[in-house]
Amino acid sequence: MQHRRFLVTGGAGYVGSHAVLALCDRGDDVTVLDDLSLGHADAVPDGVRLIQGSLADAALVERVLAEPYDGVLHFASLSLVGESMQQPLRYLIENAGLGMRLIDACVRHGIPRFVLSSTAALFGEAGSEPIPEDATVVPGSPYGESKAMLERALFWADHIHAMRFACLRYFNAAGADPEGRAGEDHNPETHLIPLVIDAALGRRPELTVNGDDYDTPDGTCIRDYVHVSDLASAHLLALEQLDHGSVTYNLGNGSGHSVRDVIASVERVSGRKVPHRIAERRPGDPPRLVASSDKLRQETGWSPRFAALDDIVATALAWREARPYGFGNR
């Protein structure tokens, strides 16, 4: 794929910023649109244009898309399953509603390619594991529902307007750029690996484990952790597939790790104990979710550089130690 020009929504956020780095590393011209409500201006690399604004600003979206782009990568999203169970309509309006308006604007401006940061939360409590692309879509949360709605909108945008799309369904992005250029910086932090690391480093009180009575080998939830730089490379490979038609890929390491596995990994990598306590389950949490990436691997040659949990944790720990306050100086 030749060097091209892309718009990345949510490109100042965690996964989006790593995708921007991957695009820049191969020489593409990137513009980031982000309202900075969850992202950080300092996460956007030098030389990348940052437009601060919201997808809710229809006039701004029209102005931005009036410029020529070879594709849009859409990361801007509310992404907390637990919060979506408390504020379902907010998630449907902001994720699905604004996302559909963006898709509509892309169609009207003749954008040829659209890549959606989707989620394995589409599948709720899927029966098969690892979960294949043709598993029944039954979202277990409004967050998952919002992404399912966007996937259907993209289907029709392609079917009727021939805008090609890629939907990448993953979750539990983890780790940090191995060169230390970007990493996780959420306030408050909700992702498990940085929470476990901070507990090990004594930067927060003991870790709260939400439930240890699930139907899993050790009673804690099992999830599929994928290194954020590996996710970014998958987005670039999916873009190339759009030269041949629209694609949908489930994206995971193919093996799951429990909460207790993550605690043990952080203890191994850091050499410190992780203080933790058991609490009640959270609503909307399935016992296990592991995505298959067989189709992606076969069609694009994708293979994770950081397949081992300890390797993922090591990059997250290096970022946390080098940048204790993330992108800021709090």
Active-site residue set: 143
- Shortest CA distance to 13 belongs to which of 34, 31, 29, 27? 34
Question: Using CA atoms in the order 230, 178, 80, 262, what is the torsion angle rounded to 10 degrees?
Answer: 90
- Residues whose CB is less than 8 angstroms from the CB of residue 290 and which lie 6 or more positions away in sequence, other chains included: 129, 130, 131, 222, 223, 224, 252, 254, 255, 256
- Shortest CA distance to 17 belongs to which of 231, 188, 189, 277? 231
DSSP codes of every residue in 66-110:
TS--SEEEE------HHHHHHSHHHHIIIIIIHHHHHHHHHHHTT
* Distance of alpha carbon 49 from alpha carbon 45, whole angstroms: 9
